[in-house]
Amino acid sequence: MFIWVFWSHYLFVMCLFSNNSYIILYQLFIHFSKTPTISHWVYICPLLGLAHFIVAYFDNYWYVAIGCVLQGSTFGVINSQSPAVMYEAAGLKRYPQGMALVNLMYGFGNLFSNVIGGKYQHALYVNV
């Protein structure tokens, strides 16, 4: 019962902050519109790594909740910025092929991340 309640809260918090990050991203876009979009990933990707570390290595509810908030926010920002990054990288002429490649890579990541993460967790005996 506890595991179901824990994971349902995890998914709720992650989805909530993933959706709200679009609003936050729009406000940030107004202030940083002159900077290339991919340069913002310099600080977003380490935050995502920190969120993964928090969720994987801490078993306290509040640490995991903070990790969920951080994961949801960074996933939302990365997913909403990927079309802009691809447009800046590929240009208008090659944008459809670029977005198809982005979606394909996201699909491969979603397909294999659970398998790789499960083997990693089993190899290190991480308790989540």
- Which of the residue ranges 19-23, 54-58, 81-85, 109-113 would you say has the lowest mean pLDDT? 19-23
pLDDT digits (tens, 9 = 90+) for 18-49: 656 656 666 666 666 667 778 888 888 889 88
pTM above threshold 0.95: no
Structural contact between residues 90 and 97, judged by C-beta atoms closer than 8 angstroms: yes
Instruction: Parse the chain into domains and list their residue ranges.
Output: 2-124
More confident residue, 110 or 103: 103
SS3 category, 41: helix
- Work out the percent of the chain whose per-residue pLDDT is above 90: 6
Q: Which two tokens stand for residue 47?
A: 């935050």
- Find the Cα–Cα–Cα–Cα dihedral 93, 94, 100, 101, rounded to 10°: -170
Q: Note whether 65 and 11 are within 8 A (CB).
A: no
